[in-house]
């Protein structure tokens, strides 16, 4: 339970609560002891209000019998706060070179395949294809390839993309607050970076080498986004590495901490469930069921009324169609997880397999058929229009 000067707060919060894996047995026991009366109590509290104990009740095994009630509250709360809108975005992968050896990822440095980096011109060609589908919200994604995908590369690319896209965000390797500030100045407004797992031991197991092996440094990343003034801070745990219930508790504490400190930024949750990937043994994954994924999303919505919630094409169509009514506010469509996948290098290796392969137009039609408005432009202006 020690602290460092670099990132004392969230590290200490998680250590004090035993949510960095040190209190695993205690939390598991508590979860198993939650009664249905406690779940009913948690459901009777004000929607959108966070207390750790309340979340504990909502994600407990006992709460699995209350998914329907949770769904109704989550639906109403999401309608109140976000209207009948779902933002659509597309990821643009710019490189699959990586110095890290995360054992669940197709881009691991230990895998042998022909790797690709997009030049600025190639990335712009990809973006052009994406823009033609109607997207105005673009997520730039890169593996840890600091030699080529530099801060200057990203800033130059962002400044050239800005006239065409109303919202730009990144999902890239960890940077300093100063570097994030440079991206912000170039027009990038949001950063998502997953802790992957909040359990130190599990983190060590899945990240055997490379700069990413430093758990504490990674835990400090979201503070850097906040300090850089990013409008959107994206958090998530990679679901399938450890017990989803314990990850949810740690994730919520992390979000709560950031909301208090960087109140001008919106904190968003993503729910990346592990998918098969090249040369990855997916039999090792500790995957949660569809019902538990729904439970996790509902529980977080019931505790965080204003949090953005993103679901990607990792998930199957039938599940995504349900989730858009249960708290999700942003979803990807027609995604490619390989650099150049939209136009220039269709056969390059992707990070993982997607499940929902419907086109953006089909996703938009699905949303409309459910009485929802697909929002292609920046969600803020759509919210104002609603």
Residues that bind ligand SF4 (CB under 6 A): 98, 100, 102, 105, 107-108, 143-144, 212
CA 106-111-113 angle, 5° bins: 90
User: Whole-number minimum distance, CB 105 to ligand SF4, in Å?
Assistant: 3
* Gap between the Cα atoms of 379 and 386, Å rounded: 10
Residue placing its CB nearer to ligand SF4 in the complex, 126 or 144:
144
User: Whole-number minimum distance, CB 108 to ligand SF4, in Å?
Assistant: 4
Helices 67-82/290-303 angle, 10° precision: 50
User: Whole-number minimum distance, CB 118 to ligand SF4, in Å?
Assistant: 15
Q: What does the DSSP assignment read for 154-210? A: HHHHHHHHTTT-SEEEEE-S---HHHHHHHHHTT--EEE---B-S-HHHHHHH--SS
User: Whole-number minimum distance, CB 4 to ligand SF4, in Å?
Assistant: 23
Residue placing its CB nearer to ligand SF4 in the complex, 78 or 313:
313
Residue placing its CB nearer to ligand SF4 in the complex, 108 or 310:
108
Helix segments in the chain, DSSP class H: 8-17, 24-33, 36-44, 52-58, 67-82, 120-132, 151-161, 177-185, 200-206, 215-219, 221-227, 244-261, 290-303, 317-323, 360-369, 379-385
Residue placing its CB nearer to ligand SF4 in the complex, 48 or 340:
340
User: Whole-number minimum distance, CB 310 to ligand SF4, in Å?
Assistant: 17
* Gap between the Cα atoms of 2 and 10, Å rounded: 12
User: Whole-number minimum distance, CB 217 to ligand SF4, in Å?
Assistant: 13
Residue placing its CB nearer to ligand SF4 in the complex, 62 or 170:
170
3-state secondary structure of 36: helix
Residue placing its CB nearer to ligand SF4 in the complex, 31 or 102:
102
């Amino acid at each position: 339970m020690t602290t460092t000067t670099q990132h004392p707060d969230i590290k200490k919060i998680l250590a004090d609560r035993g949510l960095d894996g040190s209190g695993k047995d205690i939390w598991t026991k508590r979860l198993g002891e939650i009664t249905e009366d406690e779940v009913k109590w948690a459901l009777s509290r004000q929607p959108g209000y966070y207390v750790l104990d309340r979340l504990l009740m909502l994600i407990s095994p006992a709460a699995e019998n209350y998914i329907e009630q949770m769904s109704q509250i989550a639906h109403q709360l999401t309608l109140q706060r976000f209207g009948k809108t779902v933002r659509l975005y597309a990821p643009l992968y710019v490189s699959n070179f990586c110095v890290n050896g995360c054992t669940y990822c197709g881009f691991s440095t230990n895998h042998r395949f022909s790797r690709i980096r997009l030049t600025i011109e190639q990335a712009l060609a990809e973006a052009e294809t994406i823009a033609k589908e109607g997207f105005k919200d673009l997520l730039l994604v890169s593996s840890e390839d600091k030699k080529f995908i530099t801060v200057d590369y990203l800033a130059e690319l962002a400044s050239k993309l800005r006239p065409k896209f109303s919202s730009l965000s990144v999902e890239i390797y960890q940077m300093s607050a100063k570097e994030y500030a440079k991206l912000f100045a170039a027009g990038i407004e949001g950063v998502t970076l997953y802790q992957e797992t909040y359990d130190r031991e599990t983190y060590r197991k899945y990240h055997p080498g490379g700069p990413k092996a430093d758990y504490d440094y990674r835990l400090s990343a979201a503070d850097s986004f906040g300090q850089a003034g990013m409008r959107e801070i994206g958090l998530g745990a990679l679901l399938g590495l450890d017990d989803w219930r314990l990850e949810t508790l740690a994730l919520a504490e992390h979000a709560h901490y950031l909301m208090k400190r960087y109140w001008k930024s919106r904190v968003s949750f993503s729910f990346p469930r592990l998918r098969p990937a090249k040369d990855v043994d997916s039999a090792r994954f500790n995957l949660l069921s569809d019902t538990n994924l729904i439970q996790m999303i509902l529980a977080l919505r019931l505790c965080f009324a204003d949090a953005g919630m993103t679901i990607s094409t990792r998930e199957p169509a039938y599940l995504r169609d349900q989730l858009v009514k249960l708290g999700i506010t942003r979803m990807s469509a027609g995604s490619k997880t390989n650099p150049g996948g939209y136009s220039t290098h269709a056969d390059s290796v992707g990070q993982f397999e997607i499940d929902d392969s419907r086109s953006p137009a089909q996703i938009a039609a699905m949303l409309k058929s459910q009485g929802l408005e697909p929002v292609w432009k920046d969600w803020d202006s759509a919210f104002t229009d609603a």
